Amino acid sequence: MSTPHGPDAASGPGPRRRARRWWIAAIVAVLVAAGAVVAGVLEHRAWVGTVATYEAEVARVTEDAATSRARAEEAYAASRDALDDAVDGGRPVLAGSEGQVGDPAVRAPLAAALDQAERLRDAEVTYPVSTRTVEEVTRPNLFRPQTLPRVEAEVVDGSDPAPAELHAAAAAVTAATAVVVEARQEWALEELQAAATEGRDALTELRPQVGAATLGELDAAVTDAEAMTDAGADALDPDDAVALRDTLLDTTETLWTDRLDQIVADRRRAARADGVDCREDRCVALTFDDGPVAETQRLLRILERKDAPATFFMVGDNVAARPEIARAVVDGGHLVGNHTWNHPQLTTLDDGEVRDEIRRTQDAVTDATGSTPFLLRPPYGDVDGRVRSLATRTGLDVVLWSLDTRDWESRDAREIRRRVRAEVEPGSNILLHDIHATSVDAVPKIIADLRKENYVLVTADLLVGPDEP
């Protein structure tokens, strides 16, 4: 087959190439148009989203402006109520614990927390304001330009003081209050246990003397106290415990006061039956402190020869060391009193220590002599209302002295005698010490001097004051 040659054959393919270029241009145009449409759609959607975000922010800021003050006031009021509750709970606990919780480290944090809480509570509250802004938004579209305006609003930003501060202060008060309450419960438990022990001891000692009928109120109070203490500190209401403690102490003291008055009245009545009436006679009492010691035996021989009664206020430690001498004092017809276990200043001791000093001596004297003291002479005359009350609740009446020979200072028998002669008067309670040989040396002449002046020697309990029956 031959291939055509010539002009006609060379120009044949031309129109077909031009047709292909046209279709390519058409496709490109379509693609460009489609891209523009897509871009427009995407831009529109983006703008719609921007508008929605803008409007939501405007709505939020507007709502905050309208409601923020009320919300701030509500939040402050709630925190203030919580703080008030904490302070109202803590303040009476702090006041009630005074004199009960002795450790300052326990009470001080509550006092500080309450002070801080009350400063916050009493502070003038303000509500700070700030300006919230929603910035303007412009649509970047040449064909459909649009701008959303800038919006500003005044919004309350909480309160000053802030609720968080008040809640923190309330929490601090509550925590410190709990610590003091726990400490006060422990204190109240110990106090109630001690009062119940005193009451139980009084029941044991008084029942043979006054009968069970007189002790009904005390017996019931002791039973209630023991039930309360058995439940433990956690279950204890301190106020209830203190009230019951006071009932126990008052009842115990009243019963012992009545009994001590009766003991003394009976002894004075017996003395009058024997011809000694200190309401009319010139009575004086020789009293000796700090024994028994070896010198006490010599003193007993002197008193026996002179037929002179005396009162011996004994130190418990000495009684335990020389019980036979203590027994000889009682066998000689003399009166034995309590002068504590080891001669401390009682007002410097706490209640438990005072009880121990007194009780140990009571037991020692009773064991040694078979006789229980009913008089207490506090060493150095150191006594206050608290010690007197403790003594009474242990079955002891406090007796001091009215004529101090100062024998411990002079250590001179003649000077001791001189002081007695110079200062004695009816009703004198004469203080001497049988631990000093010079004091014992002075006794024979003192007795002679007193009898020469028509004084009657008696035990200390028989002395009567000007207003006593």
Closest CA to 290 of 314, 261, 316, 263: 314
For helices 216-230 and 163-210, the axis angle rounded to 10 degrees is 140
Please identify which of the residues 433, 434, 441, 461 carries the catalytic annotation.
Answer: 433
Closest CA to 401 of 231, 253, 286: 286
Place of tokens 């003091």: 180
Residue 433 a catalytic site member: yes
Residue 239 a catalytic site member: no
The dihedral built from the CA positions of residue 96, 102, 107 and 111, taken in this order, carries a sign that is positive
Q: How far is 292 from 327, CA to CA, in rounded Å? A: 10
How many Cα atoms are found within 13 Å in the side-chain-facing hemisphere of 332? 27
Residue 201 CB partners (closer than 8 Å, separation 6+) = 394
Please identify which of the residues 201, 289, 290, 434 carries the catalytic annotation.
Answer: 289
347, 382 Cβ separation under 8 angstroms: yes
Residue 453 CB partners (closer than 8 Å, separation 6+) = 282, 424
3 state DSSP class of 285: strand
Q: How far is 269 from 262, CA to CA, in rounded Å? A: 10
DSSP labels, 409-421: HH--HHHHHHHHH
The catalytic residues are 289, 433
